[in-house]
Amino acid sequence: MKEYAWFAWLIVIPIAMGIISGLLQPAKKKRNRNRRKRPTKTMSKKTSTLPSRTSKSCRSDEVILTLALDQLNGVEFERLLALYFRGQGYQVHEVGVGGNDGGVDLVVVDKRGERTSVQAKCYADHNFVPVQTVRELVAAKRNHNCILSLLITTSDLTKPAKAEAEKFKVDYWHGGIIEQKLRAWGKWQPIKSRRA
């Protein structure tokens, strides 16, 4: 009889463990389902905030060509640069208009077919472009099959950003250079500038 009792326990224990495991399993699935839903809710929140970020108004090209750099918002600055590069004979692809650009706002293609990724940063004079922006541009240029990269800002780069740009051969135009290039182009004629 003791032999049968031992044999019965060998059967009862695995069955009991299976039942307990089965009871606990749906609880795990519910937790996983809730975990899956949380990122979806977060994504929908991010998606709902994107239109306000990308819906900055962009005045007409004629108006943009009469505004000083400090009177432009980011979208308008990108548009001004697109007009400038087209005026210089480049083919221009506006890939990141108004944010959510992944590090590249414009892809400009010269007559030889060389592609350059351009990141535009319309900042106030006291806000400098951080090193992270340079790193994003370096990584993003590969996604657009670009050989060269150019960072254009209305202000300047931080010292670490300049060092990173030199290291990865990222050309950059700060506020003074871009203003000089736009004036030499001739189509950009700001009526009133707050800068001297």
- Cβ distance 136 to 101 under 8 Å? no
Supply the DSSP symbol for 70.
G
Same domain assignment for residues 79 and 176: yes
- What is the number of other CB atoms lying within 10 angstroms of the CB of residue 108? 23
Which residue's entry shows tokens 């795990």? 28
Same domain assignment for residues 101 and 178: yes
Of 16, 38, 55, at which residue does a domain stop?
A: 55
pLDDT digits 0-9 by tens, 62-101:
999 999 999 999 999 999 999 999 999 999 999 976 666 6
Number of domains in the chain: 2
Supply the DSSP symbol for 196.
-
Same domain assignment for residues 45 and 71: no
Give the structural domain span for 170: 61-185
From the list 148, 182, 177, the residue with the least C-alpha distance to 165 is 148
Distance CA 148, CA 21 (A): 58
pTM: 0.68
pLDDT of residue 191: 86
Residue 143 lies in a domain: yes
Distance CA 104, CA 133 (A): 10
pLDDT digits 0-9 by tens, 124-167:
888 999 999 999 999 999 989 999 999 999 999 999 999 999 99
Same domain assignment for residues 85 and 132: yes
Residues facing residue 150 across a β-bridge = 118, 171
- Cβ distance 100 to 51 under 8 Å? no
Same domain assignment for residues 32 and 68: no
